[in-house]
Structures are given as structure tokens and as C-alpha cells.
Amino acid sequence: MGTIRPMKIIHAVHEMQDYSEALRKAGRRIAFVPTMGYFHEGHLDLMREGRKRSDCLVVSIYVNPTQFGASEDLEKYPRNFDRDSQLAEEVGVDVIFFPSNAEMYPVNYQTYVTVEEVTKNLCGLSRPGHFRGVATVCAKLFNMVKPHAAIFGKKDFQQLVTIKRMVADLNMDLEIVGMPTTREKDGLAMSSRNVYLSPEERESALCLSRSLLMARERYDQGERDAGRILQSIKAYIESVPSTRIDYLKICSTTTMQDVQSLDQESVLALAVFVGSTRLIDNHVFGEELNIR
């Protein structure tokens, strides 16, 4: 399936803003998928959803330095713009917004967005400053692209909660849409970082999705004690070769704080190093889990 009109690539912020403003004045609806590139089927699913919801689909490709810590993988983060462009065009993207660091963070840049409480746990604990970078770049991109709706994956669940909180708190006039995690056939959540895994590590990485299945089974059997569910999963993951748990928690989907009992809507969130690669996954109890 190809796009009806040629896909446009925009590099300059002012050009992106002018393009979107003209669409809005013409009464056209804009959907937006922000990405760091190196597309996989999960990204493409978000784009397909955006295509359904809009007259114009914009995808950004920008590896945002402000959300990476000093010891993280900014420099080696996988990039392939030519491949990404081809995949985007095949699913009907109208515009790729591909700004430089100088466009996004010009000389003397000094303004950041901090979302407070929902970022304090999970990735907020293990990656200090990460969500400040995420919130800042998303706020900037929303102002540049001017979308009516922005599409995010639920794999980065805390990120989705953070962006929804920011949009509500700052009265941003757009809809944030969360889409289910796209998985490989064996259950592994799709991620651009999966390319780092050796064949042996790739097998060990299945412990994340299998942990979600174990937790759901306990929940379906009536278990509501978070500690007991976590204890069984922890023992399992620690038995898998090449793994190291970063965090393993059950939290309120509203506050992102730990819960003791699953008597409110709760999410099991985990981050596990498999070899040197950090992977995340999650499951909201009571929702469908698309793992075989």
C-alpha cells in the first residue's frame, strides 16, 4: 500500500509549523507519531492508526539527546533514515519531520518541562532526567507539528501516562492515543534495541513477556497480593541466563506509585537488562494480553 501523494521530508521547524498551519486553516486533521526512528512493526502500527484518524499523517524522526543519561546508548542508538523513509511511505505517511539538534536545541536553549509525581517511580528512578527530556521534546514537537492527535505505544506505559498528564496539565489542545504493544510471534515486545541482542540473549529476553503471562495467570486465579505475584516473577527472571532486573513493580495506572493490593487498576511494569541491553514491558491487569 503506497501513499496517494509523494511523501514530504521537512527539516526546519518554521517550515513544519507553516505546513501544519496551512492544513489547519483548510480544515484538515493532522495525526502525529513521534519516533526516534529505526522503525519496526510497532512503529508502523502506530502510523497505520494515525492514517485512519487523519487527513495528514506526520511522523517525526529525532533521537532526542536530553532523554539519554551520560552512560546510556545515545551514540550507538540504531539509525537508518533511508530504510525508515521507505517504510513510512509504504504505510501512507505524508510528512517526515527530521530536524537536527541545532533546530531542536539552538544555542542558549534553557527551557525544560518537568512532570512531577508520575515520573518519580520506575524509569524515573533508574534513569534520572529521562522524563524531563521526554516531556520537553514532546511539548516542542507538539508546538512544531500542531497535531489534532498524537499516537503513542503502551509499551512505554509510564511515558504514555506522563505525556497524558502534561497535555492535561498544560491545557494542550490535542488528543493522546495509546495503542497496544506490538509483539514478535514468540511474545517479545518489539523494540529498536532488540537488534543489540545476541541469539542467546534473544532467547533469554522472552522472560519479560513470559513474566507477564505468569502474572496474568495468578491474577485470573484470584491473586490480588502484589508482593506474592512479584516474588514468583522475580524468582523466575533471576533463573534465566544473562538477566539482571532493573525494576519489577506493580503500580497504580493513575499515580504510577507502588500498590500492595490489586484492588484498583494496576500495571505490572518491568525493566530487565539482558546482557547489556535494557528492555521494558508491562501489562495492565484486566486488559487483554496479546501473547500466545
pLDDT digit string (tens) for the chain, length 292 residues: 344 568 999 999 999 999 999 999 999 999 999 999 999 999 999 999 999 999 999 999 999 999 999 889 999 999 999 999 999 999 999 999 999 999 999 999 999 999 999 999 999 999 999 999 999 999 999 999 999 999 999 999 999 999 999 999 999 999 999 999 999 999 999 999 999 999 999 999 999 999 999 999 999 999 999 999 999 999 999 999 999 999 999 999 999 999 999 999 999 999 999 999 999 999 999 999 988 7
Residues 72, 75, 76: CA angle, nearest 5 degrees: 85
CB 180 within 8 A of CB 154: yes
* φ, ψ of residue 17 in degrees (nearest 5): -65, -45
**How many residues are listed for the chain in this entry?**
292
Q: pTM of the full predicted structure?
A: 0.96
The residues annotated with a catalytic role in the active site are 43
Residues 6+ apart with CB under 8 A from 117: 255, 256, 257
